[in-house]
């Protein structure tokens, strides 16, 4: 998607993708990542997700990447934390104890800037991207994180019903993106009649990616 699309969504508060509580699949499957206490988890295209507060509360460090400065500022306001803001190449780094959010284009985020991470949690990034952008996104995240394990949440539905985002990303698409470098394990699938924008049936799926 063009950056202006997402900037406009945050400016006009069209953020139906934002969950006001920790994601149920994260809570259920976080332990499958096998993380040690204090591990650092990367959340691409994180918005102001409440998953960050949950992970911090579980004793993990969090790094995120988000295009919208509005989202980042609202994230820290809701956490009731005042960030230190510094330049990080073409990005801005918003930092607080245990938390670093890189604001700007995720494709401008380099491994040296991100720093070491132990896992990736992707609830809203892959499904936000149309098919032609997914290969470059997947390769970039793998490269900057050193192919650490990933917990990926997707949504699957009849794409002819409505245009994305969120886009339908079936298991076959996850495998096509990642089979070369990861073992992909299907962890969960829940079908709900109102999962897609509260109007259409969709199945939420969870995949664990582990380096081969």
Confirm or deny that 10 is annotated as ligand binding. yes
Confirm or deny that 40 is annotated as ligand binding. no
Q: How are strands ordered across the β-sheet holding 61-66?
A: 84-88, 91-96, 99-103, 61-66, 40-44, 119-122, 150-156, 200-211, 182-196
Q: Which residues contact 97 (CB under 8 A, 6 or more apart)?
A: none
Residue 43 pairs with which residues in a beta bridge?
Answer: 64
Distance (Å, rounded) from C-alpha 158 to C-alpha 40?
Answer: 35
Confirm or deny that 123 is annotated as ligand binding. yes
* Burial of 84 per CB tally in 10 Å (0-12, 13-18, 19+): exposed
Helix runs in the chain, H state only: 3-11, 24-29, 51-57, 69-79, 111-114, 134-145, 171-178
Confirm or deny that 75 is annotated as ligand binding. no
Lookup result for tokens 């509360």: 57
Phi, psi of 57 (to 5 degrees): -65, -20
Taking each helix axis from N to C end, the angle separating 3-11 and 69-79, rounded to the nearest 10 degrees, works out to 40
Distance (Å, rounded) from C-alpha 155 to C-alpha 8?
Answer: 23
Mark the binding-site residues for S-adenosyl-L-methionine, compressed into ranges: 10, 45, 66, 123
């Amino acid at each position: 998607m063009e950056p202006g699309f997402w900037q406009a969504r945050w400016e006009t508060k069209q953020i139906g993708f934002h969950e006001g509580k920790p994601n149920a699949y994260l809570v259920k499957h976080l332990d499958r990542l096998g993380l040690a206490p204090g591990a650092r988890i990367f959340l691409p295209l994180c918005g102001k997700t409440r998953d960050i507060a949950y992970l911090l509360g579980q004793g993990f460090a969090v790094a995120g990447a988000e295009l919208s400065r509005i989202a980042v500022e609202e994230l820290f306001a809701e956490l009731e934390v005042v960030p230190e803001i510094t330049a990080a190449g073409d990005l801005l780094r918003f930092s607080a104890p245990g938390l670093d959010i890189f604001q700007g284009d995720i494709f401008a985020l380099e491994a040296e800037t991100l720093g070491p991470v132990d896992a990736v949690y992707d609830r809203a990034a892959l499904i936000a991207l149309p098919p032609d952008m997914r290969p470059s996104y997947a390769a970039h995240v793998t490269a900057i994180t050193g192919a650490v394990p990933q917990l990926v949440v997707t949504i699957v539905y009849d794409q002819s019903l409505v245009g994305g985002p969120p886009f339908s990303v079936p298991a076959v698409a996850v495998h096509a993106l990642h089979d070369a470098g990861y073992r992909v394990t299907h962890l969960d699938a829940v079908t709900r009649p109102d999962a897609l924008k509260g109007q259409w049936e969709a199945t939420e799926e969870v995949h664990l990616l582990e380096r081969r």
